[in-house]
Structure 1
Amino acid sequence: MLTGCLGQADLPKLADVDLAADAPSAGLVAPAAEIEETQEAQDPKKSRSFFGLFGGGSDAVETVAPGQPLEFGQIASACGLRGAKLGKEVDRFKSYRLYESPGSENGMRTYSLTGMKDGCARQFKAAMAMLGSPTMHEQMRYDSSNDSLSVSDTDKAYERIKARICPGTRGKPCPDKRTPKLEKTAAYVTAYPSFGSNSHWFEILLHKGRVAASSTRAR
């Protein structure tokens, strides 16, 4: 969910970004060679793909032991988590389930996401996280107040996925008659580092049981 705008008038809008119509799904995220070599040197206001940390490719996430400490903006695969070890279920959409582990009242905690094709949970750290539909994401992302948001890796990946079901809608919502088909395969997770107002957040785009892309955004 997007909760603000950057106010940068010179940034391209989604409808203006050139996306190859025949781009394969495995190349939804820029390869590591195209990402700046030193993450610390990047402008923190630019969106940052998690795949820059562990290499390119769809669902190219590191496998870690369940509950291993992660930085905000990182996502990892944790196999073998079942039942109570996942924590408390806090959200669900289609086949996906989002679980929250115990944490401090206002602090970061581990979230686990199930429903992935390989049967392993995906874990990340956040103070608050939500699992939602593409329609919910579109209502915020395509609102005119967010025109100045920088175009992220998740934006580019979503436009390619959406184009297969809703052709000719780049930078626009998918028509209502086609959204049921889109929502069968795609979902979004939005995570925040604290409760209340946040200057940055983390997005995860899910597609057919895999992580299609993820980005840290700022306003």
Structure 2
Amino acid sequence: MVRTALILLGSVFLIGCGDPFSDLDLIGDVEGGGPASLGFIGTQNREVDVEVTADQVVPYGRIARNCTVSRRDMGKSVTDASGYTIYDTAPNSTGLRTHFITGFRDGCARQFSGALVITGDVGTHEMVRYADVGLKQPYTITDEAYEVIKGSFCRVARLQPCGRRIDRLAKTTAFVTVYESFGNNANWSDVLLHRGEVVAKDVNGR
């Protein structure tokens, strides 16, 4: 349900042809996500404790830190959300390819692979998640992380909307949904960004 709303209301960006990864080295040991990521809210996040360079490929579903890539090599800026900018290295492709996100506290980009990237705001997330249908859906790692952030920042109970402080929260907080392929049956991963950190990530699929 949340994923559907982000598709309809988020910013959708499609990209090019061919295999842009064919001549690059695949990084196989980039840290994955997990429930433990909730413990790193407000601290250095283990989701991105592996560093890569622009000539390396981060496997789908993982995120790495890249402190050496230049803005020119990140590709085209395709969206800005809550202080973060997403770059696409092949904006005319629909295949799996490298993307970058900037706007983090340490000044380094975050690198990941995806075929389709959608950004979602916290208002949309709450509208869908707290609806009757949304409340019946299992909570993911990113859902739980948002509840922690929202509870602390907005001073409200679990499963309650942020209320009057949501516009302030939205200035530093955003969801990013990344699809492995372009199509209705694609696997997807959700990433929660907050105050210049990747605070949570989960991988889903059909």
Normalised to the residue count of structure 2, the TM-score between the two structures is 0.74
Contact 1:2 1:140 in 2 (8 A): no
Q: Corresponding residue for 2:51?
A: 63
Alpha-carbon displacement from aligned partner over 1:129-184 (angstroms, at most 9, x marks no partner): 12332112223333333334322221111101000122234123321x21112113
Query: Shift in Å at residue 104 of structure 1?
Result: 7.3
Listed as ranges, the matches of 1:7-156 within 5 Å are: 50-52=32-34, 57=40, 58-60=44-46, 61=48, 62-102=50-90, 105-156=93-144
The 3-state SS of whatever aligns with 1:2 is: helix
**Alpha-carbon deviations, 1:99-132, whole Å to 9, x = none?**
0111773310111000010011001111011233
Q: Distance in 2 between matches of 1:67 and 1:158?
A: 33
Q: Which amino acid aligns with 1:132?
A: G
Assess if the C-alpha contact under 8 Å between 1:66 and 1:79 holds in 2: no
Q: How many residues align?
A: 174
1:187 matches 2:174 = yes
Distance 1:167 1:214 in 2: 23
Deviation of the 1:67 alpha carbon: 4.3
- Using the alignment, how far apart are the partners of 1:161 and 1:117 within structure 2? 17
| Structure 1 consecutive aligned stretches of length 4 or more whose deviation exceeds 6 Å | none
Structure 2 portions without partners, runs of 5+: 6-30
Q: Equivalent residue of 2:86, what SS?
A: strand
SS at match of 2:133: helix
Classify the secondary structure of the residue corresponding to 1:63. Answer: coil
Query: Which amino acid in structure 2 is aligned with residue 210 of structure 1?
Result: E
Structure 1 unmatched runs, 5+: 5-48
One-letter amino acid of the counterpart of residue 33, structure 2: F
- Identity within the alignment, %: 37
